[in-house]
């Protein structure tokens, strides 16, 4: 099977945004984390300033600075997609233009939230953003957070725009997604790790994953096995990842919190501080995450660095 191609990549990580202990943006940690995700982590794309990247609590200036830092670290080895979605069309356009200027290869635009616009207004919002930039646009369909679905018929209409190129799918509607995949050239991505393989089996390109912050190679291996024509092996690898997926994404804490807790426990950049209203994972949850990670991946934490001689 030949995997589909996309301007956003295939094995894409929704990267956490590292902060210092006092809550400031940690660009050095962002560079190191991005380099690791693209190298050891098997990620050929990164989404910055998405839900996992704590976009609601980072400033516009911080978002642009993060893109520049990660673009420098990645140096063309992976596609960078910047989350720019807000519930204000004008502000979203400003963020999209700023992301393009900072070096993003594409933008991720979520459905306007809280105001719950009707479908014609949803479509107009996305078209306005796509008209304002020269990079590909990925639509983000996550009605559980926004309160509004991008209905399949709206997707079909939006697919006619030359810069609307992809969809991050968190709608949990396999029938609707399969319909749009069959009738358009939109690059579909699973935004929910438990659906990575089911969506790929009906023509999706890959995934945009929070869990890839810590377990990218395992997720990529399942996709590789499917594309190599060994679906039974793909299913085995997919099932192997599910305990970690469930604990990180469906056990009461946001994926940002669990990803940062596990990154910290593993001694990797990006772990630790989150911005309020989020709170860091407790020690018991981190221990559970670490135990599950070790069982699922077979990898132990990095050894603690040796103390500097006094």
Is residue 113 among the annotated active site residues?
Answer: no
Residue 304 to residue 83: CA distance in whole angstroms: 34
Please give the backbone phi and psi of residue 130, each rounded to the nearest 5 degrees, phi first. Answer: -65, -35
Which residues are registered as beta bridge partners of 108?
83, 138
User: Choosing from 168, 189, 207, 293, which is the catalytic residue?
Assistant: 168
Residue 137 to residue 111: CA distance in whole angstroms: 13
Residue 165 CB partners (closer than 8 Å, separation 6+): 6, 7, 8, 106, 136, 137, 138, 186, 187
| The residue to which tokens 């996550």 are assigned | 142
7, 165 in Cβ contact below 8 A? yes
Give long-range contacts, CB 8 A cutoff, 24+ apart: 299-305.
Answer: 301/265, 301/266, 301/267, 302/266, 302/267, 302/268, 303/267, 304/267, 305/267
Is residue 168 among the annotated active site residues?
Answer: yes
User: Choosing from 63, 140, 188, 260, which is the catalytic residue?
Assistant: 140
Residue 29 to residue 21: CA distance in whole angstroms: 12
**Active site amino acids:** 140, 168
């Amino acid at each position: 099977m030949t995997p589909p191609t996309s301007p956003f990549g295939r094995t894409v990580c929704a990267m956490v945004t590292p902060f210092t202990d006092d809550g400031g943006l940690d660009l050095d940690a962002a560079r190191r984390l991005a380099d690791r995700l693209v190298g050891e982590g098997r990620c050929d794309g990164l989404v910055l300033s998405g839900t996992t990247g704590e976009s609601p609590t980072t400033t516009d200036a911080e978002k642009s600075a993060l893109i520049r830092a990660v673009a420098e670290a990645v140096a063309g080895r992976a596609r960078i997609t910047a989350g720019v979605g807000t519930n204000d069309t004008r502000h979203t356009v400003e963020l999209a233009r700023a992301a393009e200027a900072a070096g993003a290869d594409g933008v991720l635009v979520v459905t306007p939230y809280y105001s719950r616009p009707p479908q014609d207004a949803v479509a107009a919002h996305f078209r306005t953003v796509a008209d304002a930039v020269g990079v590909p646009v990925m639509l983000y369909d996550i009605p559980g957070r926004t309160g509004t679905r991008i209905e399949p018929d709206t997707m079909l209409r939006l697919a006619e725009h030359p810069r609307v190129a992809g969809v991050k799918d968190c709608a949990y509607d396999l029938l609707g997604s399969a319909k749009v995949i069959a009738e358009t050239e939109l690059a579909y991505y699973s935004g929910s790790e438990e659906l990575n393989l089911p969506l790929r089996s009906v023509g999706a390109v890959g995934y945009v994953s929070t869990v890839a912050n810590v377990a990218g190679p395992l997720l990529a291996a399942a996709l590789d096995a499917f594309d190599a024509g060994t679906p039974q092996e793909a299913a085995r690898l997919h099932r192997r990842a599910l305990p970690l997926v469930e604990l990180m994404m469906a056990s009461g804490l946001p994926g940002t919190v669990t990803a940062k807790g596990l990154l910290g426990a593993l001694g990797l950049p990006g772990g630790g501080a989150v911005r309020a209203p989020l709170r860091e994972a407790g020690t018991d949850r981190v221990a559970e995450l670490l135990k599950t990670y070790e069982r699922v991946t077979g990898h132990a934490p990095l050894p603690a660095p040796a103390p500097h001689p006094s």
